[in-house]
Structure 1
């Protein structure tokens, strides 16, 4: 989870981390990790507002990638903005690069025109509210992560899992679409820098390295899963039946630039590529 990686990075930098907990069990887990806990639920805007009033800055890293969760994300975000109004406190919101849609060969920068995939269209209005809140004394910053990988998590593991189960890693579409990626720990570094240095109403892409064709990522997942690089096409229409709009996100061809964060915040991603990450999952030879 992005939130877990960000929490670890902030704590390592000396910040006191307070996590939102929906239950006593979740609060206990946070305490075991060395964090404070405050009870609240993203589906309960009043509890969110109450939780954020007692902290110095807010990181919202639980932003959903589907329209079904859009309503509570919008309500929670606006509750946070209302609670922070006039305080000049920082609020980091996790958006995403799906807002750019298919980019073609020209890397999408933070100033690119948006052409969002339908499943994340709701984020346009949320981003506008966050940027507009600067006039009301809220120091909002928007992070748009690219495809996140690391820690045996995220969408890449779907391909890894299919290779383990079926002997070939399945990729959506023809595999020539490109993903721009970011390791979750590099992304956490960006959140720390944004928390400490980013101007109000700014936007930063969390993206690093060359865009990689999906079929190459699938081959690496297959190698890591012990399937010797075997891959199989999952036709887009069939994938939509199983994954809904998320299938179109997987098949989207994107080249995204993270240069602004490197230039303006001093972000220096250093972790290995997604291809090396997936290949490293292979068990050691006997």
Structure 2
């Protein structure tokens, strides 16, 4: 199973809480310029269901990508964090991000990472069932109650 960078839901993930904590500390939800880095994401419950289907119906040695949404930009994620917290949105250069977050995190937030789940849909009949998008979950869902 290949999971995307962002696995969201139930207040979990490493990266969404990182952005929320950073915005809480600085008063600004920040993204790396130009903010158009795109990601594929999946809700943790959709990922769990895909694991079950792959174990029950997958072919030995098969690799499946787990995705429920694609094309979500880094700026859109930051804007959802800002709406949730009621703070401003701001951009920073990659050099500023390296200074603030370190090279590994800055590099992570300046990647394009989009994958397709068409093989899982075709071979396993899997479809994501969670209707809450990642941006909705950040702004109004599980992250609002955790932070």
TM-score by length of 2: 0.83
- Do 1:186 and 1:270's aligned partners in 2 also have CA atoms closer than 8 Å? yes
Q: Which residue of 12, 24, 35 corresponds with 1:164?
A: 24
1:232: how far off?
1.6
Q: Which residue of 186, 197, 203 corresponds with 2:46?
A: 186
CA distance in 2, matches of 1:191, 1:255: 20
CA distance in 2, matches of 1:165, 1:266: 44
Q: Which residue of 60, 75, 81 corresponds with 1:215?
A: 75
CA distance in 2, matches of 1:238, 1:202: 41
The one-character-per-residue Cα deviations of 1:137-164 (angstroms, maximum 9, x if unpaired) are: xxxxxx1111211222220122222222
1:239: how far off?
2.7
Aligned length: 139
SS at match of 1:202: coil
Q: How does 1:130-145 map to 2 (within 5 A)?
A: 143-145=1-3
The one-character-per-residue Cα deviations of 1:6-48 (angstroms, maximum 9, x if unpaired) are: xxxxxxxxxxxxxxxxxxxxxxxxxxxxxxxxxxxxxxxxxxx
The residue number in structure 2 matching 1:59 is none
The residue number in structure 2 matching 1:243 is 102
CA distance in 1, matches of 2:74, 2:25: 19
Q: Which residue of 210, 225, 229 corresponds with 2:85?
A: 225
The one-character-per-residue Cα deviations of 1:182-216 (angstroms, maximum 9, x if unpaired) are: 11111111111111111111111111223111101
The one-character-per-residue Cα deviations of 1:196-247 (angstroms, maximum 9, x if unpaired) are: 11111111111122311110111001111232xx212232223334333342
Q: Which residue of 5, 8, 11 corresponds with 1:152?
A: 11
Q: Unaligned 5+ residue runs, structure 2?
A: none
SS at match of 1:276: helix
Change (3 A) 1:162 1:199: same
Higher RCO, 1 vs 2 (CA within 8 Å, ≥6 residues apart): 2
1:277: how far off?
0.5
Are 2:125 and 1:259 aligned?
Answer: no
Q: Which residue of 41, 65, 79 corresponds with 1:205?
A: 65
CA distance in 1, matches of 2:23, 2:38: 20
- Do 1:208 and 1:257's aligned partners in 2 also have CA atoms closer than 8 Å? no
TM-score by length of 1: 0.45
1:181: how far off?
0.7
The one-character-per-residue Cα deviations of 1:84-142 (angstroms, maximum 9, x if unpaired) are: xxxxxxxxxxxxxxxxxxxxxxxxxxxxxxxxxxxxxxxxxxxxxxxxxxxxxxxxxxx
